Amino acid sequence: MATDINVNQTEENRAERARTGQYYRPHVDILEEGDELVLVADMPGVKSDAIEIDFQDGVLTIEGSVEPRYDDKVNFLLCEYGIGDFYRTFRVSEQIDSNRIHAEYGNGVLTVHLPKVEEAKPRKIMVNAAG
C-alpha cells in the first residue's frame, strides 16, 4: 500500500514563501497504530502553550514558536543550533476524523494522534418497484 502520509514538498515551499522570519523543520516519526496514525515531532525549546496544530483539507500543519534565548552580547565558543520557530506541513491521504485529533507535548517532543475515519459500512440501496 502506498504511504498513507507524506510530506508534500510543493506545499511546504509554498508555505515557506508565505511566511516571514526564520523557522526550522522538525524531525518526525510517523507510526501506524491500527486505527490511528501517530506523528511524533522533535521540537526542543518550545513551550506547550506555544504550539499550534491545524488540520484542514487533508493538510496537517504543526507549528511551535521558540522564545529567543540569548542576548546579542553573548560570546559563543560553539553554536550548532540557534533560534527559530518550528514549522512543517504534511499531506495526509488517509481519511482522518478531524474532531478526534488530539496531541500531547513533553520534554521537547510533540505527539499528534490522528484517528482514522471508521470504514464506511457497505450500504444497500433499496430500489422500489414503480407501479
Partner 1 sequence: MTLIPWRTKHPDDTPREQQLSPTGGFRSEMDRLFDSFFHDAFNWGDRPWGAVGGWGPPLDVEETDKEVAVRVEIPGMSADDLQLAISGNSLVISGEKKETTEKPKGGYVYQERRYGSFRREVALPSAVDADDVQAEYKDGVLHVRLKKSQEALPKRIPIRAT
Query: Which residues of this protein are in contact with partner 1, per CB under 8 A?
Result: 3-5, 22, 24-25, 27-34, 37-38, 40, 42-47, 69-70, 72, 74-84, 107-109, 111
Nearer to partner 1, 46 or 62 (CB): 46
Minimum distance from CB of 19 to partner 1 (Å)? 14
Minimum distance from CB of 24 to partner 1 (Å)? 7
- The CA distances from residue 108 to 12, 14, 48, 67, 124, in Å, are 23, 27, 9, 14, 49
Q: How far apart are CA 96 and CA 98, in angstroms?
A: 6
Q: At 30, which amino acid appears?
A: I
20 Cβ contact list (under 8 Å, min separation 6): none
Minimum distance from CB of 2 to partner 1 (Å)? 10
Nearer to partner 1, 38 or 98 (CB): 38
Nearer to partner 1, 40 or 98 (CB): 40
Q: How far apart are CA 28 and CA 17, in angstroms?
A: 22
Phi-psi region of 49 (alpha: psi -120 to 50; beta: other; left: phi over 0): alpha
Nearer to partner 1, 34 or 122 (CB): 34
Minimum distance from CB of 103 to partner 1 (Å)? 14
